[in-house]
Amino acid sequence: MDIKGRLAVGALKMIGKLPLHWSRRLGWFAGKMAVWIRSEGLRLSRINLKLCYPAMDPKQREKLARESVINTAIAGFEMASLWNTPWAKNENAIVRVRNQQLLNAGEAEGRGTIVLMPHTGNWEIFGLYVGTLAPCAVLYQPPKIEALDPVIRSGREVTGGKMVPTNVHGVRSLLKSLKAGNLALILPDQEPDMGGDFAPFFGRPALTMTLVHNLIQRTHCHVVFGFGKRVEGGFELVFVPAEKAIYSEEQKVSLAAMNRGVEACIAQAPEQYQWEYKRFRRQPEGKSKIYRKQK
């Protein structure tokens, strides 16, 4: 393990020993510092919010950008705590669960279920909770710092979820889980490494994964959205229904419905969405680059 890896693992474990409320305080301070120094995350959040909420009052949009940067920092510190804390203690941080019957519908019909978790609030606590409900395969992209992989993987798999890679082998695992009537957990709001097509996201073309559409067509599974909303004293886990259009055989119709489902989750806590992600990095041919810095 190189020095960078050792430092990263050490920092992760040190933060992980802190109670959740202290992790949140440290995250809040880190987020405020990121706002104060006008970080790259703040710049990107401003761009994305202007694209997605063009009619919003500029002052309100700036406030939302700053709140998002702070919440993203808090989420990072929370995750370190969640990965290094026994599930029995993490479970106590769940204040309430809303609309879980949406998830149960697939099981009642004898079908597997895809759970789509956008980068809103804390998706780690949500994924850990879902892992306690049924066997599930979780699509996973290893971190850039290789030394962090076993720490994160063990933290995510503690409740029973099985991490599967973002490649052909991982897709096979997702198919197997769904065909067995179990769960597949996927983060749907990132640019795909494989299999993508453009679909509207807040009215803008965004390269969107086709994996979910393909899984639906091959397994006739159920689909539901969900996220872990940050609230006083812990988390509120929220399940959100998917539109019927997500089951369409027409790929573009299904992708557009999936993106609208992500938008519906964001609408419940827009300040907790990870707006700094370059969601519109790749654009249709002929479109200008969105995130280019002004000289």
pLDDT at residue number 25: 95
* Cα–Cα distance measured from residue 108 to residue 77, given in angstroms and rounded to the nearest whole number: 37
Burial of 244 (C-beta count, 10 Å sphere; 0-12/13-18/19+): exposed
List Cβ neighbours of 13 (8 Å cut-off, separation of 6 or more): 80, 84, 151
pLDDT at residue number 230: 97
Strands 136-140 vs 162-165: parallel, antiparallel or unpaired:
parallel
User: Tokens 């998917």 belong to which residue?
Assistant: 242
Question: What predicted TM-score, i.e. pTM, was given to this entire model?
Answer: 0.94
> Which pairs count as long-range contacts for 24-30, CB under 8 Å and 24+ apart, including other chains?
24/74, 24/77, 24/78, 26/77, 27/70, 27/73, 27/74, 27/75, 27/76, 27/77, 27/78, 28/70, 28/73, 28/74, 30/73, 30/76, 30/77
* Cα–Cα distance measured from residue 185 to residue 187, given in angstroms and rounded to the nearest whole number: 7
pLDDT at residue number 156: 87
pLDDT at residue number 153: 85
Helix axes 58-83, 149-156, angle to 10 degrees: 90
Distances (CA, A) of 41 to 72, 190, 276: 9, 16, 5
pLDDT at residue number 295: 57
Name the token pair of 117: 């978790």
pLDDT at residue number 1: 58
* Cα–Cα distance measured from residue 10 to residue 14, given in angstroms and rounded to the nearest whole number: 6
pLDDT at residue number 236: 98
Which segments of the chain have a pLDDT < 70? 1-2, 294-295
